Amino acid sequence: MNYYEHIQTEDPELYELLEGEEERQRDGLELIPSENYVSRAVREAMSSALTNKYSEGYPGRRYYGGQQFTDQVELIAIDRAKKLFGASHANVQPLGGANANIATYMALMNPGDTVLGMDLSHGGHLTHGHPVTYISKIFNFVRYKMKDIETGEIDYDALRETALKEKPKVILAGFSAYPRELDWQRISDIAKEVDAVSVADVAHISGLIAGGSQKNPFEYGFDVMTTTTHKTLRGPRGGMILVNGKNGRGVNGADDASRAEDIAKKIDKAVFPGLQGGPHMHQIAAKAISFREALHPSFKVYAKHVVENAQAMAEVFQNAGVRLITGGTSNHLILADVFGSLGISGHDAETLLDQAGITLNKNSIAEDVRKPMDPSGIRFGTPAMTTRGFGKAESTQVAGLMIDVLTKRDEATVAKAREAIRTLAQEHSVPDSFL
């Protein structure tokens, strides 16, 4: 199928690159846990006439005319997002997960205020206040870590002690490289104890929450959730901010609603005009489509299989003697110490597996002795391969091929794995529709 017939005619140079990427995705396997495939409908929305339209503001309150269709598109996306996560309010305009996090900080704090979040080396994200980010110069970030790297247990006692000492305005729970579930209730209780706003960055697991295979932080009293709309949610690249109308902060529902309404107003103002200009309406339409897909009963089956497939892969690595950070996985991703277990750096492992048609990413592990661009670990996951219809048997097979490549490292083994991966990819093409 040629998605790019006009580009082929008008810009052959770029056409060759786009076709190359189509082929790479078609014939190989995406195991980066933050990547996925979208449906044909989502791709069509991303190239729709909405890409031509400026829509600064919000539905019913725009700064430009001609919004009779864009307003309805955004309202549909908002309504579906609220249903999907049990939210009282949704802002679907953030252009990405980083934008969603930064807008949330701006909404809830003043410069110099304190955020308590997960340390990057223990699974957190750059936008959670790593010193290399600009946002870390505006707000004061303090961090919590795992107590036990082998089990993944968070040091919740230290988290509470830090919260009592630092009095953060925001307690941020969430991660980009943590293979376990957090104790949402414990963190929510600590936030209430110190009168902090509780924010869950669920960018990696929002699809698993929507599909019921991971717990919803809103059910444990969290005030806000930020997320990307790609990754496990299987939508276009973008972001979103959700507000909980039943956070248990007041003595009755009215007090809860009042707190939520105040937070929602601050977040909307922080997104626009505080951080962004006109929203990308073609992206919002694509989000709306993906939310509809995630509301379909089949998505629950998908989310369940994502976790099962990850656990099947983890078992193969553990049986091969590879140390897994947190001792396994409870979600969609696996973090493996390949340097400590197999004597190969994360960078070299990434390169070798890429040659075999398996795309994943090098990743630092907790207390890593190596540098970030050549760390000890690799991070991989199952959202994209599960979209292609892979089950536990295929996931086990892929994990076995990975172990072969990482242990033998010769051209013949890589070539054999590449052929096996190509065959699996051909047998499991990405469906045009998920409904």
Catalytic residues, which ones?
54, 56, 201, 228, 231, 237
Please state whether the peptide bond connecting residue 131 to the residue before it is cis, i.e. omega within 30 degrees of 0.
Answer: no
Annotate 146-191 with DSSP letters as a single string.
EEETTTTEE-HHHHHHHHHHH--SEEEEE-SS--S---HHHHHHHH
| Beta strands at 29-30 and 358-359: parallel, antiparallel or unpaired | parallel
Is the CB of residue 126 less than 8 Å from the CB of residue 132? yes
| Partners of 141 in the β-ladder | 115
CB count in 10 Å sphere of residue 435: 12
Distance CA 310, CA 386 (A): 10
Identify residue 157 by its one-letter amino acid code: D
Backbone dihedral angles phi then psi of residue 268, each to the nearest 5 degrees: -60, -45
Distance (Å, rounded) from C-alpha 320 to C-alpha 313? 11
Helix, strand, coil % (nearest 5) of the chain? 50, 15, 35
State the CB neighbour count (10 A cutoff) for residue 289: 24
d(CA 312, CA 292): 29
Angle, alpha carbons 261-263-269 (nearest 5°): 100
Chain center to CA of 383: 10
DSSP letter for each residue of 76-126: HHHHHHHHHHT-SEEE---SSHHHHHHHHHHHH--TT-EEEEE-GGGT--G
Please, are residues 237 and 230 in contact by the beta-carbon 8 Å criterion?
yes
Q: Exposure pattern of 412-421 as b/e (b: 16+ CB <10 Å)?
A: ebbebbbebb
Residues 6+ apart with CB under 8 A from 274: 103, 106, 107
